[in-house]
Amino acid sequence: MVKQIRNKTLWVTGASSGIGRALSLRLARHDNIVIASGRRYEALAELQKHCPERIRVLDCDVADDDAMAAVPERLGALTGHLDMVVACAGTCEYDDDLQLDGHSYRRVFDANFFGVVNTLRSALPLLGASPAPVFAALGSLSSVVPFPRAEAYGSSKAALDYFLGAVRADLCRTALKVVLIRPGFVRTPLTERNDFAMPFLMSAEQAAERIELELCKGRSTIDFPRRLSWPLRFLGSCKALWFHLCVPKLTRIRTLRKH
């Protein structure tokens, strides 16, 4: 029998689309109370219609420090505790031709890294009211090895890897379990913009099913699919092979820009 998360109260960010939406709907259908967050209230309201008795809407932008200051109080008005948080909010911008646009890098880090910091800060008081709390955040297998064009995105996910590891170390004597989720390519509005082949592409629903299953197993790091994660982890441990065999086929830059 497939394991399921049941009878919990969860907060899922990035719930207006993609993995966050699929996970929110899946968990709500498994008799959980899901607080679904995202920037687009209309999309969250549409999601709530699928399971109105189980989904509660909390619209917010996790990358907006000022707006997030009010979120702990808003969360407290919806629930007295949180058993689990899954931080799925994020974005992706590629650095074509190594433009090194600082505004682009900041947007990516604000959503993918600082957004998770804001989410954890907002959730900690309510997680402390649960006997076995879990904080999980969506990283990426792109943090395992450096990909061309992914300077901003991959760096933000690598920073998230370290951040969650440090939080896990700090809280190792507490009940809170910290989980890093690193999916491969998932069909979402973000990946639909990709102009390259995406091996082992899966649907958001398939990703949500895998995430729930692995969370039930109590893993601290969830990498999937294995057909992609295992080769990348091997190449990550032997980066000379990655740079010699793979990146010359992936990069689009042939000459340095002239100023």
Burial class (CB in 10 A: 0-12, 13-18, 19+), 23: buried
- What b/e readout covers 63-79, taking b as 16+ CB neighbours within 10 angstroms? beeeebeebeeebeeeb
Q: Is 162 an annotated catalytic residue?
A: no
The catalytically annotated residue of 41, 94, 105, 153 is: 153
Token pair listed for 148: 């061309």
End-to-end CA distance of the chain: 61
Residues annotated catalytic, as ranges: 153
